[in-house]
């Protein structure tokens, strides 16, 4: 129905090749040479002959080669050439199929050898250069699917020997319908820089400087040239720099500069891609050093400041993706050398589309590496996890190692900013928030686990900010309603950093404002006391914090602060009963409440429920018997008899109730 012969059906469906070859032998025995040749040459409705089917479905290679030998033995010279050159309806010839499906390389080379032996030089060249309907030639297919670079180079050598210089150049430069050339394919799918450089040498020897430059500059459908593709997909900075050196040799300074600043469809140039994907740092710095030599200071500075479609410049990407913080500082030094102080200030202040500046990204720099190590991902993949959450929803940060820190780099950037900005601009820079409301204090408290860096950051910054600016900076809340106290209590390994921030607050705020800062609640109702109560190591910190509140708040506000409940976890009593093991801790909190609350409010505080039960039930499960009985006594003193017995029944201690 579709014109298939028994031979073609066998080549498509019978694995192993034995059946196909046996069928060929039967045909040769019983047919005349002319009929047998016609049988081998037959094409079905879509113009596939048996060679096409065999190259695609018989992956052993030997079957195809034996089939070719049969044809060679029985066909006249011209017919054999036509058989090898035949293209199907999609313009694929047997070489295309071999390069795509015969993975050993040897089969393809043997097929090329058959053609070279029998075909005229110009005919052989046309066969090698043929493109299918998607514009792919055998080089494209080799570069993507033949992992052995030696196969590609041998095919290239055959082409060089059998075609004119012009035809050979056109073959190397050929782009498919998506504008990919052989350099793009090899850079994307194979990681052997040596093969790429040998391929470049072929081009350099046979092309004029203009042709060679055009080959390097060619962009595929995503607007990526060979620099973009290699820097993004191959972690081989040596080869990348060598590619740049090829460009330096064959291009004028103007053309070279155009090539380096060419951006892809994400508005990224090679500098952006190096900063993100070449994680060794050295490659990025070498690229910068090469470029400095042939462009003016102004043009070089503009290159460093160029933003991609996310609003990120090279410094942003370097802060987020480079594992060695020295790379970031060196990049900034290059920028300082090429820009005026005012322009450096603007560069440091530059913000991505989500509002993050280099300080925000630098503060989470070490955590990117931690995620990469813990999840067996590259730094780029780990950073993408964070960026996908817009630097806000970092659940994995809960598990961040306390030893991960990049604080020295952050402080150095702050110093750079202070050197080139006015005090007013510097203060605003530090206060900038991402689109999720996080300023550098929030991000640092979350990611820099040494605490000392965070304190040095505020100590240094307060020298150049007004009292009002410092107070506003400390009070600033993220979109989740968290201020720096919440972040410190949640993420800093001990309470010393938190208490130091409390001291700064007392110093830079009025008593009334300071009290409001302590009482501030996140969107889920949590205040700083809830975070401290939920961490076993924060018991002492919790009591000191409560004492600060007692001294600065009115009795009513102090009581309301203690009574505040989160949506899920209840009040600090519930959290303390669950997580604080220090003897007497829960009793001391209850004493604070008893002193500042009315009897009715105090009773309501004790009776409050969470999904885990009331404080009495949690105390029974997690605290000692003495603490439990003391809490019962408090309830008995402040509640009506009816409320008290209802409270006891909620935690189902029927034996105790009976004893009473």
Q: Please give the pLDDT value at position 37.
A: 95
Is 11 domain-assigned?
Answer: yes
- Provide the residue range defining the domain that includes 74: 1-163
Q: Where are the alpha helices (DSSP H) in 432-571?
A: 440-447, 452-461, 467-475, 484-491, 496-508, 511-519, 528-533, 539-552, 555-563
Is 577 domain-assigned?
Answer: yes
3-state secondary structure of 523: coil
Give the CA distances from residue 18 to residues 10, 54, 58, 101, in Å, rounded to whole numbers and listed in that order. 10, 12, 10, 19
Is 141 domain-assigned?
Answer: yes
Is 264 domain-assigned?
Answer: no
Q: Which two tokens stand for residue 382?
A: 């780990």
3-state secondary structure of 609: strand
Is 88 domain-assigned?
Answer: yes
3-state secondary structure of 177: coil
Give the CA distances from residue 204 to residues 215, 239, 397, 446, in Å, rounded to whole numbers and listed in that order. 10, 16, 50, 52
First and final CA of the chain: distance in angstroms?
95
- Look at residue 658 and tell me whether its pLDDT is greater than 80: no
Q: What percent of the chain has pLDDT over 90?
A: 75
Q: Please give the pLDDT value at position 660.
A: 52
How many whole angstroms separate alpha carbon 206 and alpha carbon 202?
6
Q: Number of helices and strands (H, E) in the chain? A: 45, 2
3-state secondary structure of 578: helix
Rounded mean pLDDT, 97-124: 94
CATH number at residue 534: 1.25.40
How many whole angstroms separate alpha carbon 220 and alpha carbon 211?
17
Last residue of a domain, one of 163, 193, 208: 163
Q: Please give the pLDDT value at position 482.
A: 97
- Look at residue 659 and tell me whether its pLDDT is greater than 60: no
| Helix 407-420 vs helix 452-461: crossing angle, to nearest 10 | 10
Give the CA distances from residue 259 to residues 31, 62, 139, 262, in Å, rounded to whole numbers and listed in that order. 62, 46, 24, 5
Tens-digit pLDDT profile for residues 19-31: 999 999 999 999 9
Give the CA distances from residue 408 to residues 384, 412, 452, 501, in Å, rounded to whole numbers and listed in that order. 24, 6, 10, 20
Q: Please give the pLDDT value at position 448.
A: 80
Q: Report which of 439, 438, 544, 528 is spatially closest to residue 492, judged by C-alpha positions.
A: 528
Last residue of a domain, one of 163, 196, 224: 163
Is 59 domain-assigned?
Answer: yes
Rounded mean pLDDT, 455-462: 90
Would you call 626 exposed, middle or buried from its count of C-beta atoms within 10 A (0-12, 13-18, 19+)? exposed
Tens-digit pLDDT profile for residues 401-442: 333 345 688 889 999 999 999 989 999 999 999 888 999 999
Q: Please give the pLDDT value at position 404.
A: 37
Q: Which two tokens stand for residue 645?
A: 């017995």
Lowest model confidence (mean pLDDT) among 74-78, 139-143, 516-520, 607-611: 607-611
**Residue 568 region, left (φ>0) first, then alpha (ψ -120 to 50), else beta?**
alpha
Is 594 domain-assigned?
Answer: yes
CATH number at residue 11: 1.25.40.20
Cβ neighbours for 377, distance < 8 A, ≥ 6 positions apart: 371, 385
Query: CB count, 10 Å around CB of 308?
Result: 21
Rounded mean pLDDT, 572-587: 92
Q: Please give the pLDDT value at position 374.
A: 52
3-state secondary structure of 570: strand
Tens-digit pLDDT profile for residues 12-69: 999 888 999 999 999 999 999 999 999 999 999 999 999 999 999 998 889 999 999 9
Buried b (16+ CB within 10 A) or exposed e, 640-654: eeebbeebbeebebe
Last residue of a domain, one of 163, 188, 209: 163
| Mean pLDDT estimate for the chain | 90
State which of 317-326, 365-374, 645-654 shows the largest mean pLDDT: 317-326
Reduced 3-state DSSP string for 221-245: CCCCCHHHHHHHHCCCHHHHHHHHH
Tens-digit pLDDT profile for residues 253-306: 999 999 999 999 999 999 999 999 998 899 999 999 988 888 889 899 999 999
Total number of domains constituting the chain? 2
Q: What does the DSSP 8-state code read for residue 566?
A: B
pLDDT band at 139 (very low <50, low <70, confident <90, very high): very high
How many whole angstroms separate alpha carbon 262 and alpha carbon 264?
7
3-state secondary structure of 614: strand
How many whole angstroms separate alpha carbon 472 and alpha carbon 652?
49
Tens-digit pLDDT profile for residues 619-628: 988 998 899 9
Are 103 and 146 in contact, with CB atoms under 8 Å apart?
A: yes
Q: Which residue has the tokens 């058989």?
A: 83
Is 231 domain-assigned?
Answer: no
Q: What does the DSSP 8-state code read for residue 59?
A: T
Sort strands 613-614 and 609-610 into parallel, antiparallel or unpaired: antiparallel
Indicate the helix (H) or strand (E) that contains 258. helix 253-261
Rounded mean pLDDT, 594-616: 91
Q: Please give the pLDDT value at position 79.
A: 95
- Look at residue 495 and tell me whether its pLDDT is greater than 70: yes
Q: What percent of the chain has pLDDT over 70?
A: 92
- Look at residue 519 and tell me whether its pLDDT is greater than 50: yes
How many whole angstroms separate alpha carbon 648 and alpha carbon 387?
50
pLDDT band at 394 (very low <50, low <70, confident <90, very high): very low
Cβ neighbours for 51, distance < 8 A, ≥ 6 positions apart: 64, 67, 68, 83, 84, 86, 94, 97
């Amino acid at each position: 129905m579709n014109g298939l012969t028994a031979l073609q059906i066998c080549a498509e469906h019978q694995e192993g090749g034995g059946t196909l070859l046996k069928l060929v032998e039967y045909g040769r025995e019983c047919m005349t040479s002319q009929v047998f040749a016609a049988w081998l040459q037959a094409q079905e409705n879509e113009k596939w002959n048996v060679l096409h089917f065999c190259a695609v479905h018989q992956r052993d290679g030997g079957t195809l080669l034996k089939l070719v030998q049969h044809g060679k033995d029985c066909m006249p010279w011209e017919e054999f050439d036509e058989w090898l050159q035949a293209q199907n309806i999609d313009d694929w010839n047997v070489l295309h199929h071999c390069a795509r499906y015969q993975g050993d390389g040897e089969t393809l080379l043997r097929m090329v050898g058959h053609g070279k032996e029998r075909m005229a030089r110009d005919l052989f060249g046309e066969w090698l250069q043929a493109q299918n309907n998607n514009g792919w030639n055998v080089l494209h297919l080799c570069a993507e699917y033949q992992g052995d670079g030696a196969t590609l180079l041998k095919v290239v050598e055959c082409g060089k020997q059998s075609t004119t210089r012009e035809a050979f150049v056109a073959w190397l430069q050929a782009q498919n319908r998506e504008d990919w050339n052989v350099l793009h394919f090899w850079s994307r799918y194979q990681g052997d820089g040596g093969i790429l450089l040998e391929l470049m040498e072929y081009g350099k020897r046979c092309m004029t400087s203009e042709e060679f430059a055009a080959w390097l500059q060619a962009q595929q459908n995503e607007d990526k040239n060979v620099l973009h593709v290699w820097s993004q997909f191959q972690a081989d900075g040596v080869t990348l720099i060598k590619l740049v050196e090829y460009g330096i040799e064959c291009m004028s300074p103007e053309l070279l500069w155009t090539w380096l600043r060419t951006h892809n469809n994400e508005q990224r140039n090679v500098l952006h891609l190096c900063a993100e994907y070449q994680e060794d740092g050295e490659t990025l710095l070498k690229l910068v050093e090469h470029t400095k030599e042939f462009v003016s200071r102004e043009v070089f500075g503009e290159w460093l400041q160029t933003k991609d479609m996310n609003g990120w410049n090279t410094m942003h990407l370097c802060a987020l993706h480079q594992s060695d913080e020295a790379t970031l500082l060196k990049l900034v030094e290059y920028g300082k050398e090429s820009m005026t102080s005012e322009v450096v200030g603007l560069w440091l202040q530059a913000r991505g589309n989500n509002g993050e500046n280099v300080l925000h990204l630098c503060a989470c720099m070490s955590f990117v590496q931690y995620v990469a190590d813990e999840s067996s991902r590259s730094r780029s993949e780990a950073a993408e996890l964070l960026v996908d959450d817009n630097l806000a929803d970092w659940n994995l940060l809960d598990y961040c190692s306390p030893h991960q820190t990049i604080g020295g780099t952050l402080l150095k950037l702050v110093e750079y900013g202070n050197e080139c900005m006015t005090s007013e601009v510097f203060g605003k820079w530090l206060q900038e928030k991402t689109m999720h409301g996080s300023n550098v204090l929030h991000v640092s408290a979350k990611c820099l686990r040494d605490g000392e860096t965070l304190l040095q950051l505020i100590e240094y910054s307060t020298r150049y900010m007004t009292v009002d600016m410092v107070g506003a900076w400390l009070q600033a809340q993220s979109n989740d309603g968290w201020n720096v106290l919440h972040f410190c209590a949640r993420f800093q390994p001990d309470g010393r950093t938190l208490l130091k921030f409390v001291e700064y607050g007392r110093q830079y705020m009025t008593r009334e404002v300071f009290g409001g800062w302590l009482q501030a609640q996140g969107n889920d109702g949590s205040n700083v006391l809830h975070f401290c109560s939920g961490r076993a190591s924060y018991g002492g910190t919790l009591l000191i914090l409560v004492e600060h509140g007692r001294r600065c708040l009115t009795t009513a506000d102090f009581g309301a602060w203690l009574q505040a409940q989160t949506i899920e976890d209840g009040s600090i009593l519930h959290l303390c009963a669950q997580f604080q093991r220090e003897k007497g801790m829960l009793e001391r909190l209850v004493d604070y409440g008893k002193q500042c609350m009315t009897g009715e409010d105090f009773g309501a505080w004790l009776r409050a429920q969470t999904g885990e039960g009331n404080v009495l039930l949690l105390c029974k499960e997690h605290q000692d018997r003495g603490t439990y009985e003391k809490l019962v006594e408090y309830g008995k003193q402040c509640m009506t008899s009816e409320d008290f017995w209802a409270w006891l029944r909620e935690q189902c201690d029927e034996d105790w109730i009976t004893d009473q």
